[in-house]
Amino acid sequence: MKLILATNNAHKMREIFEILGDEYPDMVTLKQAGLEIDVVEDGDTFQANAIKKAEEVLIASGYPAALADDSGLIVDALNGAPGVYSARYAGEQHNDADNNEKLMRDMAGVPWDRRTCRFASAVALARKGKDTICVLGTVEGILLTEPHGTNGFGYDPYFYYPPFDKAFAELSAEEKNSVSHRKRALEALQEILRREQA
């Protein structure tokens, strides 16, 4: 399947290529396809945003299929925030450091047993002449009070993953890709595609 990846996020592109590259060697990015499109993420769920991105890029690109991801961090003590606003938690023009700083301010004084959180990734595959598939993958963790590690991106330095006794930013790419929310969503998508072909 010739596939276009509906994202301009370099970190997401790398992770998706690392997870799916062997199965979809013809996968291209928006940049590689010469396509400049920035889909407005105005949905109230990760799934709504992922579906919108995949379907708009499918139409704009002319490719037979478009894959999109919308993901973020859900913190229980903040009633699910940052959630769909994870990338712009500190405001539209802010970066990872600003978002993490705001998150730490908002979580100041919250005890360890109430710092439960999870990463969620909605992956949508839009295809010509077929229904769009959308799946959700999650991974459970605990929000640290200070950053650990220099790998990864976004909230990874603050996301402690108990089974590995490390923050996501302390994991190698291979370790993170073996357990991440994005990996779990992509695996669920592949399973649906395998069932379709059976």
- In the annotation, is 165 catalytic? no
* Planar angle of CA 64, 69, 71, nearest 5 degrees: 170
Q: Per-residue pLDDT for 72 more than 90?
A: yes
Quick one: pLDDT at residue 155? 97
Round the average pLDDT of the chain to a whole number and report it.
93
pLDDT tens digits for range 102-113? 999 999 999 999
When pLDDT is averaged across residues 29-49 and rounded to a whole number, the result is: 91
Residue 43 belongs to a domain with what CATH number? Answer: 3.90.950.10
**What total number of domains does the chain contain?**
1
Quick one: pLDDT at residue 8? 78
Q: Per-residue pLDDT for 21 more than 80?
A: no
**Contact between 123 and 99 (Cβ < 8 Å):** no
Quick one: pLDDT at residue 161? 98
When pLDDT is averaged across residues 136-155 and rounded to a whole number, the result is: 96
Domain hosting residue 138, numbered range: 3-197
Has this prediction a pTM greater than 0.75?
Answer: yes
Quick one: pLDDT at residue 47? 98
**Catalytic member of 70, 98, 156, 165:** 70
CA distances from 113 to 9, 69, 133, 169 (A): 33, 30, 36, 21
DSSP 168: G
**Contact between 184 and 15 (Cβ < 8 Å):** no
Cα distance between residue 146 and residue 185, in whole Å? 28
Question: Which of 82, 91, 71 minimizes the C-alpha distance to 153?
Answer: 71
